[in-house]
Amino acid sequence: MASGFFALLDDIATLMDDVVVMSKISTKKTAGILGDDLAVNAEKATGFVSSRELPVLWAITKGSALNKLIILPIAFLLSAFAPWGVTLALILGAIYLAFEGAEKIYHALVPHTSKKNEVETINKLEDFKDEASEVTEQEKIKSAIFTDFILSVEIVIIALGTVIGKPILFQILVVSIVAMVATIGVYGIVALIVRMDDFGLKLVGLNANKKSFTHIIGSLLIRTLPWVIKGLSVIGTIALLLVSGGIFVHNLGFLHHFLESIPRFMRDFIVGLLVGVLALIFVKLIGFIKKGLAKS
């Protein structure tokens, strides 16, 4: 009886060793998408009032954890019974990511008059400032959680691909660990980024001497944050197009040999941008038709 119990413990220890090893391998394979996830979510988690940054980030983090809880069981079921569903989900998600990336570029190049008018209206209506700000915050949180959902699908699928053929318990343990690391790691780093200026202020307050080490580092962190945020906005947009383009190239056979002569990251970006522009045109066309029907 005792020997059987110790044999069971030995089997469990062996299983956990294998799980740790495969988790490391899976994490390495998802490192690229985790980097893109960080850039995209850091860009989406910035731009709030200082006092609201951490509450907003916490709301997004909880949404990200919920995304993983929804995605994981569905991914295991699809992998076992309908592998084509995984590919379909990836492609649909990639279209949205490409659209969002192209839309950001469009708004950067073309003045968005409706947004300007909206801001002016809000500024005039002083009594509704707080309410409008709260609505905008909730919209940004929902957008961030939705984008995280699509990126989480890609992370889970890549991690799942490294353990295909293994027992289902092994798959669940490995992919769940990768998903947990993705959520804690990404949003932990994002939290450090968005609070960088507050940390800088504390360092500055430690010593009144402007030539002191803490004052210099603190001032540097405060001055650097706006540039970091702007940089993350650009990197996040590029990441959206790179991730979506990579999904298209890897999952659509007719794109495997598209622009093979150029570097892979450039090919992924071009494919993502082309699909994003097409999706943006389609959405604008639908909106134009709806306006025309409403007027008529």
DSSP 179-198: HHHHHHHHHHHHHHHHTHHH
Residue with tokens 């800088």: 200
pLDDT in tens, 120-169: 444 444 444 454 566 677 888 888 888 888 778 878 877 776 676 677 77
Which residue segment(s) compose the domain that 18 sits in?
Answer: 2-295
Give helix 2-29 / helix 168-194 axis angle, nearest 10°: 50
CA distance 162 to 175: 9
Query: Taking the model in full, what pTM does it have?
Result: 0.67
Long-range interactions of 247-250: CB distance < 8 A, separation 24+? 247/90, 247/91, 247/93, 247/94, 247/97, 247/154, 248/91, 248/94, 248/98, 248/272, 248/275
| Mean pLDDT within 86-115 | 79
Contact 156/183 with Cβ under 8 angstroms?
no
Domain count within the chain: 1
Report yes or no: 44 and 235 within 8 Å, Cβ to Cβ: no
Cβ burial of 205 (10 Å; 0-12, 13-18, 19+) is exposed
Task: Output the pLDDT for position 278.
Answer: 95
**Residue 86 clears pLDDT 50, i.e. is over it:** yes
| Average pLDDT of the residues in 19-43 | 59
